[in-house]
Amino acid sequence: MKTVYDFTVKDRQGNDVSLSEYQGKVLLIVNTATGCGFTPHYDPLEAMYKDFREQGFEILDFPCNQFANQAPGTDSEIHDFCTLKFGTEFPQFAKIDVNGENADPLFAYLAGEKPFGGFGKGIKSTAMNKFAAMNNKQFGDKAYIKWNFTKFLIDREGKVVARFEPTVDMADVRAAVAVELDK
Protein backbone atom coordinates (compact mmCIF):
# COMPACT_ATOMS: atom_id res chain seq x y z
CA MET A 1 0.00 0.00 0.00
CA LYS A 2 1.27 3.46 -0.91
CA THR A 3 2.23 5.98 1.77
CA VAL A 4 3.63 9.52 1.75
CA TYR A 5 7.07 7.94 2.12
CA ASP A 6 6.84 6.82 -1.53
CA PHE A 7 7.02 10.44 -2.75
CA THR A 8 9.95 12.67 -3.59
CA VAL A 9 9.58 16.45 -3.56
CA LYS A 10 11.86 19.41 -4.27
CA ASP A 11 13.37 21.57 -1.56
CA ARG A 12 13.70 25.35 -1.99
CA GLN A 13 17.02 24.89 -3.81
CA GLY A 14 15.52 22.40 -6.28
CA ASN A 15 17.08 19.30 -4.73
CA ASP A 16 15.14 16.05 -4.46
CA VAL A 17 13.94 15.14 -0.97
CA SER A 18 12.48 11.72 -0.32
CA LEU A 19 9.67 11.91 2.20
CA SER A 20 11.00 8.62 3.57
CA GLU A 21 13.40 10.93 5.48
CA TYR A 22 10.40 11.68 7.73
CA GLN A 23 9.54 8.05 8.42
CA GLY A 24 8.27 7.46 11.95
CA LYS A 25 7.19 11.08 12.46
CA VAL A 26 3.74 12.63 12.60
CA LEU A 27 3.48 15.08 9.71
CA LEU A 28 1.25 18.00 8.86
CA ILE A 29 1.53 18.73 5.14
CA VAL A 30 0.23 22.18 4.17
CA ASN A 31 -0.14 24.15 0.93
CA THR A 32 0.48 27.79 1.78
CA ALA A 33 0.47 31.32 0.39
CA THR A 34 1.95 34.57 1.67
CA GLY A 35 -0.84 36.92 0.57
CA CYS A 36 -3.91 35.00 1.70
CA GLY A 37 -6.44 35.81 4.40
CA PHE A 38 -5.36 32.54 6.02
CA THR A 39 -1.64 33.47 6.05
CA PRO A 40 -1.90 34.18 9.82
CA HIS A 41 -2.20 30.37 10.19
CA TYR A 42 1.60 30.48 10.17
CA ASP A 43 1.52 31.67 13.81
CA PRO A 44 -0.33 28.64 15.26
CA LEU A 45 1.54 26.33 12.88
CA GLU A 46 4.89 27.58 14.18
CA ALA A 47 3.65 27.34 17.78
CA MET A 48 2.66 23.71 17.17
CA TYR A 49 6.00 23.00 15.59
CA LYS A 50 7.90 24.44 18.56
CA ASP A 51 5.71 22.60 21.08
CA PHE A 52 5.65 19.20 19.36
CA ARG A 53 8.77 18.74 17.26
CA GLU A 54 10.67 17.06 20.10
CA GLN A 55 7.89 14.44 20.11
CA GLY A 56 8.52 13.57 16.47
CA PHE A 57 6.34 16.15 14.71
CA GLU A 58 7.14 17.91 11.43
CA ILE A 59 5.27 20.46 9.33
CA LEU A 60 6.00 20.34 5.62
CA ASP A 61 5.18 23.65 3.93
CA PHE A 62 4.48 23.74 0.18
CA PRO A 63 3.84 27.26 -1.20
CA CYS A 64 1.34 27.38 -4.07
CA ASN A 65 0.27 30.27 -6.29
CA GLN A 66 -2.86 28.64 -7.77
CA PHE A 67 -5.39 30.44 -5.58
CA ALA A 68 -5.90 34.04 -6.71
CA ASN A 69 -2.12 34.45 -7.21
CA GLN A 70 -1.56 34.78 -3.47
CA ALA A 71 2.00 33.38 -3.49
CA PRO A 72 3.64 35.28 -6.35
CA GLY A 73 7.22 35.45 -5.05
CA THR A 74 10.21 33.25 -5.67
CA ASP A 75 10.99 30.40 -3.30
CA SER A 76 13.59 32.62 -1.58
CA GLU A 77 11.21 35.59 -1.26
CA ILE A 78 8.48 33.38 0.19
CA HIS A 79 10.92 31.81 2.65
CA ASP A 80 12.24 35.20 3.73
CA PHE A 81 8.70 36.50 4.27
CA CYS A 82 7.74 33.49 6.41
CA THR A 83 10.87 33.49 8.53
CA LEU A 84 10.91 37.26 9.07
CA LYS A 85 7.18 37.84 9.63
CA PHE A 86 6.23 34.59 11.39
CA GLY A 87 9.55 33.15 12.58
CA THR A 88 8.88 29.84 10.85
CA GLU A 89 11.46 27.14 11.36
CA PHE A 90 9.67 24.13 9.86
CA PRO A 91 10.76 22.84 6.43
CA GLN A 92 9.53 24.83 3.45
CA PHE A 93 9.75 23.26 0.02
CA ALA A 94 9.74 24.60 -3.55
CA LYS A 95 6.58 26.28 -4.78
CA ILE A 96 4.30 23.75 -6.49
CA ASP A 97 0.97 23.31 -8.21
CA VAL A 98 -1.56 21.33 -6.19
CA ASN A 99 -4.27 21.23 -8.90
CA GLY A 100 -4.52 20.59 -12.61
CA GLU A 101 -2.39 18.67 -15.08
CA ASN A 102 0.83 19.81 -13.37
CA ALA A 103 -0.31 19.03 -9.83
CA ASP A 104 2.41 17.63 -7.65
CA PRO A 105 1.78 13.87 -7.33
CA LEU A 106 2.00 14.14 -3.54
CA PHE A 107 -1.02 16.44 -3.37
CA ALA A 108 -3.02 14.36 -5.85
CA TYR A 109 -2.33 11.38 -3.58
CA LEU A 110 -3.22 13.25 -0.38
CA ALA A 111 -6.50 14.49 -1.84
CA GLY A 112 -7.29 11.02 -3.14
CA GLU A 113 -6.81 9.60 0.34
CA LYS A 114 -8.87 12.35 2.02
CA PRO A 115 -11.13 14.09 -0.53
CA PHE A 116 -12.65 17.52 0.04
CA GLY A 117 -15.53 17.31 2.50
CA GLY A 118 -16.65 20.93 2.50
CA PHE A 119 -15.66 24.14 4.24
CA GLY A 120 -18.10 23.67 7.12
CA LYS A 121 -20.79 26.15 8.10
CA GLY A 122 -20.98 29.87 8.63
CA ILE A 123 -20.17 33.07 6.78
CA LYS A 124 -16.49 32.23 6.21
CA SER A 125 -17.45 28.86 4.75
CA THR A 126 -20.07 30.37 2.45
CA ALA A 127 -17.55 32.87 1.12
CA MET A 128 -14.92 30.15 0.66
CA ASN A 129 -17.34 28.00 -1.33
CA LYS A 130 -17.82 30.87 -3.81
CA PHE A 131 -14.10 31.68 -4.11
CA ALA A 132 -13.12 28.04 -4.49
CA ALA A 133 -15.83 27.29 -7.05
CA MET A 134 -14.71 30.18 -9.25
CA ASN A 135 -11.00 29.42 -8.90
CA ASN A 136 -11.23 25.66 -9.34
CA LYS A 137 -13.37 25.67 -12.51
CA GLN A 138 -10.15 25.80 -14.49
CA PHE A 139 -8.93 22.50 -13.01
CA GLY A 140 -12.08 20.38 -13.53
CA ASP A 141 -11.73 16.93 -12.00
CA LYS A 142 -8.13 17.75 -11.04
CA ALA A 143 -9.18 20.41 -8.50
CA TYR A 144 -7.76 18.37 -5.64
CA ILE A 145 -7.22 21.22 -3.19
CA LYS A 146 -9.85 23.92 -2.80
CA TRP A 147 -7.79 26.74 -1.22
CA ASN A 148 -4.58 27.77 0.53
CA PHE A 149 -3.76 26.30 3.93
CA THR A 150 -5.38 22.92 3.39
CA LYS A 151 -3.69 20.62 5.89
CA PHE A 152 -3.17 16.85 5.82
CA LEU A 153 -2.30 14.95 9.00
CA ILE A 154 -0.06 11.93 8.45
CA ASP A 155 0.52 9.21 11.05
CA ARG A 156 3.88 7.65 11.92
CA GLU A 157 3.34 4.94 9.30
CA GLY A 158 2.92 7.50 6.50
CA LYS A 159 -0.86 7.15 6.16
CA VAL A 160 -3.19 10.12 5.71
CA VAL A 161 -5.46 10.24 8.77
CA ALA A 162 -7.18 13.62 8.44
CA ARG A 163 -7.73 16.60 6.16
CA PHE A 164 -8.38 20.09 7.49
CA GLU A 165 -9.68 22.82 5.23
CA PRO A 166 -8.46 26.37 5.96
CA THR A 167 -11.78 27.18 7.65
CA VAL A 168 -11.15 24.60 10.41
CA ASP A 169 -10.18 26.23 13.69
CA MET A 170 -6.44 25.85 14.28
CA ALA A 171 -7.15 24.72 17.85
CA ASP A 172 -8.91 21.68 16.37
CA VAL A 173 -5.93 20.97 14.12
CA ARG A 174 -3.60 21.21 17.12
CA ALA A 175 -5.81 18.85 19.14
CA ALA A 176 -5.77 16.26 16.33
CA VAL A 177 -1.97 16.50 16.08
CA ALA A 178 -1.64 16.00 19.84
CA VAL A 179 -3.86 12.89 19.71
CA GLU A 180 -1.82 11.46 16.85
CA LEU A 181 1.45 12.10 18.71
CA ASP A 182 0.08 10.25 21.76
CA LYS A 183 -0.59 7.05 19.80
Of the residues 33, 36, 103, 110, which is catalytic? Answer: 36
**Residue 43: what pLDDT?**
97
> Is the C-alpha dihedral spanning 121, 147, 18, 89 positive or negative?
negative
Q: What is the mean pLDDT of residues 44-67?
A: 97
Pairing outcome for strands 57-63 and 26-32? parallel
Fold of 4-182: Glutaredoxin (3.40.30)
Whether 64 is catalytic is no
Picking from 12, 67, 13, 80, the residue whose alpha carbon sits closest to that of residue 35 is 67
Pairing outcome for strands 57-63 and 8-10? unpaired
Picking from 134, 174, 148, the residue whose alpha carbon sits closest to that of residue 37 is 148
pTM comes to: 0.95
3-state secondary structure of 46: helix
150 and 104 Cβ atoms separated by less than 8 Å: no
Percent over 70 (pLDDT), the chain: 100
**Residue 164: what pLDDT?**
97
Domain ranges, ordered by start, for the chain: 4-182
Cα separation, 125 vs 50, in Å, equals: 29
Cα separation, 133 vs 95, in Å, equals: 23
Model confidence pLDDT, tens digit, residues 28-39: 999 999 999 899
Query: Is the model's pLDDT at 129 over the cut of 90?
Result: no
3-state secondary structure of 128: helix
